[in-house]
Copies of this chain bind each other. A is one copy, B any other.
Amino acid sequence: MKIPEEMSKAIEEAQSVVLFTHVHPDGDALGSLLGFAAILEGMQKKVFCYLEEPVPHLYNFLPGRDRVNTTLDELFSFVEESEKVIAISLDCGDSRRLGKHETRLLEVKPFLVIDHHQSHKDFGDYRWVDPRKSSTGEMVFEIAQNLQAPISYEAAYNLYVAISTDTGSFCYEATSPRTLRIAAELVELGVQPDEVSGKIYNNYTSERIRLMEMVLGTLRLYKKGKVAMIHVTQDMFAKSKARPEDIEGFVDFPRSIRGVKVAAFVKENKDSVISVSLRAKGSCDVAELARVFNGGGHRNAAGFRFADKTLEQVQQLVVDQLIPLV
């Protein structure tokens, strides 16, 4: 699917742009937001860049992160004083994920939507939704090129982060020849892959490594190696001094084992809720498995939680009721 004509025209003609993305933004959301903001400013447009929360600390290296407004207090005057204003929603598959100011944001007209989620639910006036694109960052690049807008180093850096994080560093299915060629152009604009990757992937603490060691020690295999389970306890957090976000990516270890179809990560949270993350490899549908315990998610990544059980009880439930279904 190509960029809709009316979308290009609306962007070209706009003097002011209200720009935002989904709540709990990831690398693609933040990178396409800040990248597009830089591009639009380069086109001499006024930009009101909005995020419900401040930029998460894992992404505190993104250039231009200070553009972000975390309140809508000044939106009224921004829109009032602008002659031609448009709204652009980036990387958001469902208007409810725009957060608490959804209604206020949707009032800005025309409302443009740029997204690549498979499960996208239509909203807004002009939409460009293409699930075959690797990332919203890739789509923003296409728009800039289509409009012959200059791409500054700041814009290139943010778009590179968007594309590289949403493709798992050019590993996921939607990584196309075009994705790689766009990355090449961004590198030509000055982005250094090692510098960016260092910021994204080499930003861990030694406490995380300690916790990793403890969690890997809990690995158990079931069903002749088709299911792999690991767990983390509050005691491990205390001993390692790691932070809750340090477990990001741990479930990829059991998943990486040859022959494993389903990886389960059982977590004892601070509030003593026990949550379970499931990851599939191959054709297994873990969203269906998660529904056994009233959970949900995607085909490849799903989960569920219990507020009234111990970690051992939940593990036993998984072994007794879920693993036999794999």
Contacts and interface: CB of A to CB of B under 8 A. Distances in A.
Contacts of A324: none
Nearest to A201: B256
Interface string A205-240: 110111011001101010001001000000000000
A295 interface: no
A184 B177 contact: yes
Contacts of A183: 170, 180
Given A205-B258, A213-B216, A258-B202, A176 B187 contact: yes
Interface in A169-210: 169-173, 175-178, 180-181, 183-185, 187-188, 192-194, 197-198, 201-206, 208-210
B202 A221 contact: no
Given A171-B169, A177-B188, A210 B219 contact: yes
Contacts of A204: 256-258
Contacts of A255: 202
A281 interface: yes
Nearest to A178: B184
Given A202-B258, A209-B257, A225-B206, A185 B194 contact: no
Interface residues of A, number: 50
A40 to B, nearest CB: 25
Contacts of A225: 206
B216 A194 contact: no
A253 interface: yes
Nearest to A197: B171
A282 B209 contact: no
B172 A169 contact: no
Contact of A175 (B173, B194, B213): B194
Contacts of A210: 216, 219
Nearest to A192: B173
Nearest to A254: B209
B206 A193 contact: no
9 contacts: A171-B193, A176-B187, A180-B184, A180-B187, A181-B184, A202-B281, A209-B257, A212-B216, A213-B217
A124 to B, nearest CB: 30
Contacts of A194: 171-173, 175
A56 to B, nearest CB: 14
A219 B171 CA distance: 29
Contacts of A169: 169-171
A210 B255 CA distance: 14
A183 to B, nearest CB: 5
Contacts of A177: 184-185, 187-188
A111 to B, nearest CB: 33
Interface string A282-321: 1000000000000000000000000000000000000000
A181 to B, nearest CB: 5
Interface string A251-289: 001111110100000000000000000000110000000
